[in-house]
Structure formats: structure tokens, C-alpha cells
Amino acid sequence: MTKTITLLVARLIFAGLFAMAATFKFTGMAATTGYIAAAGFPAALLLAWLAAIFESALALAFLTGAFFSETAVLAAAYVLFLAFAFHGPSHWSGNRDEFGFFIDHFTFIAGLLFAAIHGPGARWALRAGVLAPR
């Protein structure tokens, strides 16, 4: 029972973080667009909408457990991209905090990869997926 509860709590944390990020993007689309544009990406508004939609899909997948392992791997790749794009080495000079933000992404990635290997748990999860542990 402890394993089931622990996995469910982890899934809720992952879902909550991505749902919160998506909510911030949807409610502050102009600010998100500006942040993306400031990082040098073209089509910032399109990318902001795609990020918000993708984060919503991640939250839904973590909540349901469907395609859980695939979702965790995709989320880890996304978080790695965010680390380098918005907090990577080019941001470190003049702002030491950016290095800390960069490193923080790797603890999140480690959790996501651990989750990808262990799956969504035996209960309260849809059993869809290609990589799902049997």
C-alpha cells in the first residue's frame, strides 16, 4: 500500500507542476511570449501556445497514468531543453542564480527518469503505453 500511495503522490506532484506551468502560460501568454522571444526564439507566440498545450498534455498523462513511461521520458527531454535554453551557460555570467536554476532542472529530470523506469503504479493508472513496465 505504501508503494501505491507514494507513486500516486509522485504522479500528483508531476501533474501539479506541469499544470501550474501551463496555467501560468495560458494566463500570462504575453509575458511567456516575451520571455521566449528574449531567449532568441522565432515565432515566440506560437511556441508559447505549444508549450502551454504540451504541458497540459503532460499533466493529463501523469494524472491518468496513460503512456506514463513515454510521458516521463518526453517530460525529461523537455525539462533538459528548458534548462539549456533559458538557464544554460550563456545566462550564467552576471547572474549566479541562473546556474542554480540550471542545476535544479537536473533533479527534476532525475525524478522523471526514475518514474519512467518504475511506471505509474499498479493502481489508479490506465495501462496504455509502449514502454510501460509489465
Confidence of residue 5 (pLDDT cuts 50, 70, 90): confident
4 or 55, greater pLDDT: 55
Task: Write down the pLDDT at residue 129.
Answer: 55
Assessment of whether the complete model's pTM goes beyond 0.85: yes
38-76: pLDDT as tens digits = 999 999 999 999 999 999 999 999 999 889 999 999 999
Q: What is the per-residue pLDDT for 35?
A: 95
- pLDDT tops 80 at residue 25: yes
Which set of grid coordinates corresponds to residue 9?
503522490
Q: What is the pLDDT of residue 58?
A: 98
Angle 44-64/68-87 helices, nearest 10 degrees? 150
Helix, strand, coil fractions of the chain, as percent rounded to 5: 75, 0, 25
pLDDT tens digits for range 89-128: 888 887 889 899 999 999 999 999 999 998 887 766 666 5
Distance CA 61, CA 68 (A): 6
pLDDT for the residue 130:
55
Cell of 84: 539549456
